[in-house]
Amino acid sequence: MDPLRATTTSNALADFVATSLDSVLAAEEDPAEAAVDLFRRTAESVPAYRAFLGENGLDPSSVRTPQDFVRVPPMTKQNYVQRYPLAARCREGGLDACDMIAVSSGSTGTPTFWPRSVHDECVVARRFEQIFADAFRAEERRTLAVVCFALGTWVGGMYTTNACRLLSTRGYPLTVVTPGNVKDEILRVLRDLAPAFEQVVLLGYPPFLKDALEFARARGLDVAPLGLKCVMAGEVFSESWRELLLERMGATSACYATASMYGTADGGVLAVETPLSVAVRRQLAARPDLSRELFGESRLPTLVQYEPRARYFEAVDGRLLFSSDGGVPLVRYAILDQGGVFAHDDLLGKLGTAGLDPYAELDGERGARRLPFVFVFGRSDFTVSFYGANVYPENVSVGLEADGVHEFLSGKFVMEVVEGGEAPPCLALTVELSPGEASTDERTTLVARSVLSALLRLNSEFSSYVPVERRTPSVTLLPAGEPTFFPVGVKHRYTRKPEAL
């Protein structure tokens, strides 16, 4: 039995969900042709898009082929979303076809409204189904999905809740509970409700899930018997961080116990980690030279697979564009993430030439889908420049996750270049301690040495450009939840603009 075709319950909603979930994959249209069709329909039915094309001097009738499609001007939040009224960006100039509105996080500016319909959620639910079926075998195990994203208008919590509930209409023995990002409520669910299920899936922001598990452990709860799995979204993390999470979960299989989603409020879930992509990434983590050759950076990106007929990706000058239908159709939308795409066979061929075999980490063919890959670094404004070297949060994270330091750290930090006055520039790191831990001179020195070791190993620019006497970062350890750097309940930012001394 194909796990993605679990038997649906016999009601109208189940029939609608089943049809919506399968419609994209049932289409035989070439993905590039499907993108052209989306462009055509959007130009015909969305008033703001017609105006946008006119202002950019493009006649929609001139775009007939995938070769023509590359001439379509990319959308951005600045040149499209913020310039045209919300209703004008919807089909037929109205919100009538949309039954729910979500709000973006506002991490780069004012929060934005994103309307959608239940059909849009069905398409996104397909990505959740990939994870729950391929990695977690949820079609054959009684599963409790614990939504740990913030609830309310923000996109993560409600979108995740709705997608998981749609899966239950497909016949999955899946129950959803929504404690949100309240640790006491999550602990109550894990202690009192979770033992009634064969496995428990926590869905949330990566650092928060790790914090929640440590919170549970500190209160005496052994989570190992619960069969924990984790689905994450929101940021890039290292493979050493994944190992720490597995240890907190009491799990051993990275490929079949964890998955990350690449998603946005703008387009929903765009792509997901699969057992195959996790296996590839884990092998590349041990080969930073090959990773740099493949991805062009001294850091390991998120590596996910996508369905090109649902979310059509392009890479232009190192930036990702995607096209997707929805309440607000998006055509060649530039979300400002750095990254690129690989055809399935191209990436696997390069790995084989280098002597790597990701299938060795898999359970047969389970989770080995022949879908293209997209790699994502995130936005370049999350890096800092130090003596001309780009210093990435991902590099620093590896240093904080090393043995001897991760035991007393939460994993959160803020990095900045402090310069000005008579003193030379300094790479400054403010690092959050785990709850109950204290700062000491010995610990500060250990953290600085561990981060330096990671930077020298992973970042060739850092080791080449930064003078030896300036390489060791200045580290400050602060208590958990310190309000200036680590406020509770908001999305964490890992970088700050340079400040004067």
What is the predicted pLDDT for the residue at 20?
52
Write down the pLDDT at residue 9.
44
Contact between 8 and 166 (Cβ < 8 Å): no
pLDDT in 10s for each residue of the chain, 501 residues: 344 444 444 455 555 555 555 554 445 579 999 999 999 999 999 999 999 999 999 999 999 999 999 999 999 989 999 999 999 999 999 998 888 888 775 544 467 888 988 888 888 899 999 999 999 999 999 999 999 988 877 778 888 999 999 999 888 999 999 999 889 999 999 999 999 999 999 999 887 888 899 899 989 999 999 999 999 987 778 898 899 899 999 998 999 999 999 988 788 899 999 999 999 999 999 999 999 999 998 788 999 999 999 999 999 999 999 999 999 999 999 987 889 999 999 999 999 999 999 999 998 888 888 999 999 986 655 778 787 677 888 889 889 989 999 999 998 999 998 865 567 788 999 999 999 999 999 999 999 999 999 999 888 778 877 888 889 999 999 999 899 898 876 667 787 754 432
Positive/negative CA dihedral, 214, 219, 224, 229: negative
Q: Which two tokens stand for residue 85?
A: 């009224």
Q: For Cα atoms 417, 420, 423, give the angle at the middle one, nearest 5 degrees.
A: 90
Domain 384-478 has CATH 3.50.50.60: no
3-class DSSP assignment, residue 362: coil
Query: HSE of 100 in the Cβ direction (CA atoms, 13 Å)?
Result: 18
> Model-level pTM?
0.80
Q: Is 77 left (phi over 0), alpha (psi -120 to 50) or beta?
A: alpha
Reported as half-sphere exposure (CB side, CA atoms, 13 A), residue 465 has a value of: 12
Domain ranges, ordered by start, for the chain? 384-478
Q: How many CB atoms lie within 10 A of CB 339?
A: 22
pLDDT (0 to 100) of residue 1 = 37
Cα angle at 193 between 171 and 178, to 5 degrees?
A: 70
CA separation for the pair 319, 314 (Å, rounded) = 8
Reference 119, options 324, 374, 312, 264; nearest CA is 324
